Amino acid sequence: MEISVKNINLETVKTPCIVAGIYDKRKLSGSAKQLDMHSAGYISKMLKRGDISGAVGDTLMLHDVPGLQAERVLLVGCGKASDLSNLRYREIISSSASALDRAKIKKAVISLADLDSKPLSPAQQIRLATEALLQNSYRFSMMAKDNPAVLDRISLHFADKRAAAVKKAKLALQIGKAIGEGRNTARELGNLPGNICTPTYLAKQASNFGKQYSKLKTTVLNQKDMEKLKMGALLSVSKGSRTPPKLIVMEYNGGKKGDRPYVLVGKGVTFDSGGISLKPGAAMDEMKFDMCGAASVIGTMVSINELKLPINVVAIVPSVENMPDGAASKPGDIVTSMSGQTIEILNTDAEGRLILCDALSYSEKFKPKAVIDVATLTGACVIALGAHPAGLLSNQQKLADQILDAGNESGDRAWQLPLWDDYQDQLKSNFADMANIGGREAGTITAACFLSRFTKKLHWAHLDIAGVAWHGGKQKGASGRPVPLLTQYLMDRCGKHYSL
């Protein structure tokens, strides 16, 4: 999809459609007022018929509006101006794009960057509109021919002609495009079936990005490399699979040489059967999404390369399949991690933390400023927080606050849970330094407590995205979260330049 920001005379522009907003109780937005004035009150007259109330998601298509050169005007409900939020604005844009698609409209002018909102500046509205439009345009590659996106060219109307405002709007467009592309990259990787998106495939895609971007270097460690590093925890998970494990390392060098990097670690279990602790059969197909942490980290690397952020970032993706086999790990087995700590595997379906702990130990070699791991780690997080925020735990409150702020700014929110020593006793083992599970109680917290034992030298945060990484039911598919949050966090580390 081609998206641009333009200062356009709405009354004279020749376009298949102009999109303008209507607030609750049929109150006109700024652009709708302008269109109404040039059509001699025609829009107000149509609104009096009651075909649209102004509630979020309402749409009304008007044809051949007098006084305008546009073929159509699409009115879209924006709800109460005082209630406009990041999430609601995305809904407004998504409703607009869906209505344009249904009408088979290929090109349009969207004039929705003038909505009254204290939390959302016009530039922020441009960014969110761009992200939402790209999200709406995504089609899974294997099904794209059966459900093509019609809308392919959008001009976002921006009325402020001041140089500083125009500069902000162009930056907003750039950010929106970068995050949208990164998020759709993550969605595509997440949606691919397990027989295609294997650890080898994931490594190949990461290597391709290394060739695409000049500041990105990708290295792939194979099983023998991991054996030399004594990654016994990670390798124990892949023992039951015929597909070899991979440790993918993507190094983005946008900052000064020698500057310590930020490190992102993404869980890459390309299919999780549960291993010997086999999962129930119902909805097991969704376990192809167990690599969405890896997908989001790779997607974030796409976003920061598109933005050319002036910092150094490393992405580490431990990638395996977790399958049942005669060689697979068994409950009760004891393995030795890269850190030298021993782990009693009480449940082979708690495998994500086993691959993450070795990846976190490996991250120490980069002497990172901060490390964030991202994982579809626990069903307990879904029960605790549902499908709205990611779970956040950290050993550094300043880092946690920065991530929470990035989530609020991007609309890709997280919620902090406690990482107290009180929970550590649940991981006690009679036979090893620790067990890999801590029982039913506080499962998300004890999983993070497990990881914390491998991050004592690091400023570290853990994002449990089990509830937000994909949608089930009729809308089944990867969400691409938390690419917006991670990208925002990294933009925030670059100073005020990326502030809207």
Contact criterion met (CB below 8 Å) for 178 and 135:
no
List b or e across 52-85, with b for residues whose CB sees 16 or more CB atoms inside 10 angstroms: bebebbbbbbbeebeebebebbbbbbbbeeeebe
279 is catalytic: yes
Q: At what angle do helices 163-191 and 122-137 cross, to 10 degrees?
A: 30
Residues 333, 179: Cα–Cα separation, whole Å? 42
List the beta strands (DSSP E) in 31-71.
Answer: 59-63
**CA–CA–CA angle 147, 148, 151 (5° rounding):** 135
Catalytic residue, from 72, 88, 168, 353: name it: 353
The tokens describing 402, both together, are 């920065």
Catalytic residue, from 215, 230, 279, 369: name it: 279
Give residue for tokens 């009729």: 474
- Three-state DSSP class for residue 248: strand
Residues 483, 131: Cα–Cα separation, whole Å? 11
H or E stretch covering 375 = strand 370-375
353 is catalytic: yes
Catalytic residues: 279, 353
